[in-house]
Amino acid sequence: FLIFVSVSAVVLGTFAFDYDILYESQETKCYLSFDYSTRCDSQHYRLYLMPYAMIFTLIYPIGTPLLYLVLLYSNLSEIDPVVDGKKARQQVDKDHYLALIKIRENNQSIRHLSFLFSTYECEFWYWEVVECFRRLLLTSITAFVYPDSPLQVAFTLVIATASIKLCSRFNPYVLDSDDTVAEIGQWVIVITLFFALLIRDGTIEEGSRIGYILISIQLGVVAVATIVALRESQEEQQHLKDASFKFFKSMTSKQETDGPRENRSYMIPQLGWLKRKLSTRANDIELVDRAVEKPPIPDRVPEDVQSVPSEYVINPMANYTAKAVMKPQIPDRVPEVVPI
């Protein structure tokens, strides 16, 4: 998130030129905007810099969003889960919907991709790709649209205004506080670009106090956004926990009411594991109860008893063993002649 825009600006800046007209010969020379020591018609640029920049344009500014899209789409069934035959985005009940998002966060198979979708609703799993292209349009792409002219600022202003419309129309974030902060931040961009357009057009002098006004607006917006985000985040996190508990409870009750059925759409792995765990625990308790319910074992076997009665045999499920004690018959006297 932090380096994508800066690295893309450096790579795409290799194709941004400035032209200089020599006073003596009226010859126009082309230089790189980021490096005036490099001319566009030099062999160093044509044979080395331009091919290098073209390759890395495909790898980073274009390749990174496309890679995000491929990774997200290949795991779409996990990111946008199916419950009760419906996608998560089709769930009307907010409690169930937030519980599904919690399940998605705890899914170990897609945890390595959570930074791409965890803040967005299931329906907008692709929104990080949209954000990448939006930032490219606002920073790097605008450098090629009417450079150093008021039209360049006007084009950027149009992109920023369209971004506000998209954000307010779809509200792609899971938390409403994130939607609010995102919209406020984009309004700050629009206000800044508007004053930049006035300065570029000459309506406002660059040395006026407009800079202090812009700084005050941005700091005020950041403070308001922080307060709103903290308040709404605490409320919605608590609601998310309550919704998760209600969802698991309702799904467990539904399975017990409907009885076993194969290919049930809402038999998600988390609930299946929980049910198996509870069932195993119940069986263990039942076995222990059976092992405990038995007659007491005498301290010793009477001499006149040659085997342990059947009621003293311990339940084999309790991992106990009992051996029958056989006592040989002792004759009253030893015979005089012992047969061989």
Percent of the chain with pLDDT over 70: 62
Whether pLDDT at 324 is above 50: no
Q: What is the pLDDT of residue 311?
A: 47
Burial class (CB in 10 A: 0-12, 13-18, 19+), 147: middle
Query: How far is CA 175 from its chain centroid?
Result: 13
Predicted pLDDT at 224 = 80
**pTM beyond 0.85, yes or no:** no
When comparing pLDDT for 11 and 263, which is higher?
11
Over residues 15-49, the pLDDT tens digits come to: 888 877 655 556 678 888 888 888 888 888 889 99
Whole-number pLDDT of residue 315:
47
Whether the pLDDT of residue 320 is over 50: the answer is no
- Do 247 and 88 form a contact (C-beta atoms < 8 A)? no
**pLDDT, tens only, 281-313:** 455 545 444 544 455 555 565 555 555 455 444
pLDDT at 135: 93
pLDDT per position as a tens digit, 213-232: 888 888 887 788 788 777 77
Number of H helices, E strands in the chain: 12, 4
145 or 329, higher pLDDT: 145
